[in-house]
Amino acid sequence: MTKDTRLPPYLPFPRFLLEANMAQAAKMVYAVLLDRATLSQSNGWTDSDGRLYLVFPIEGIADAIGRSHMTVKTALAELETAGLIERQRCGFSAPNHIYVKIPDGQDIVRLTDRKLSVIGKENFPSDGQKTCPMTDRKLSPNSLSINHLNKNNLRGASTRTRAQGRYQNVFLSDAELAELREELPDLWQQYIEKLSEYMASTGKTYQNHAATIRRWAAEDRHNGKAAPDYSYTEDESL
């Protein structure tokens, strides 16, 4: 490069994302949404309160980052929990509006300090159009009680434990997550979401979430079942 070399097209990638305590896919999706927001600025897409919104279907985001639809859905849920985006339903078959949020200094500290909690937002039922703040909750191992650690067989874990899944109720250590990615390269996220939704809907608990996912995967292979499908139909959106 020289002083006159022109850079190729690039995405805005805020520096705080480098240290943010979130998955790489979520960071990529945030950068893509931030870039997409410039299109909304150009077109003047704002709501009645003057807030800028964008429309970006899951399929388009997946194509932009070269990842699966399931990865994008998980990333969007993580970004919403972290308070970096807000999604608003716009009626049946209509694409949702996405609001990209720019964190202030205090929020950046919260996002980059792994010992601090994450203040997220939780959607109302599917026919709702608003979001409500959740109570402050900690997702690091330090926030789990000793009893909870025992239940999830994490007493001897040497690595940080993260809350996974849509409902943040699947607890896996970094080592366990890496092993599942290696053992189930195309399915590990689907099984995490399946376990998260199953526990949230039934109230059931398991002693070891990694072992449960492996057992379910083995049973599905034995029974010749296909992987769980969480893809959206054409008339569904974010």
Q: Are 191 and 70 in contact (CB under 8 A)?
A: no
pLDDT of residue 175: 84
Model pTM? 0.49
- Which domains are present in the chain? 13-137 (1.10.10.10), 138-228 (no CATH)
Q: Is 100 left (phi over 0), alpha (psi -120 to 50) or beta?
A: beta
pLDDT by residue, tens only, the chain of 238 residues: 999 999 888 888 999 898 888 899 999 999 999 999 988 998 899 988 999 999 998 989 999 999 999 999 999 999 999 899 999 887 776 778 999 998 887 777 777 765 444 444 444 333 344 444 433 333 333 333 334 434 444 344 344 678 888 888 888 888 888 889 888 988 989 999 999 888 888 888 888 898 899 888 888 888 876 555 544 444 444 4
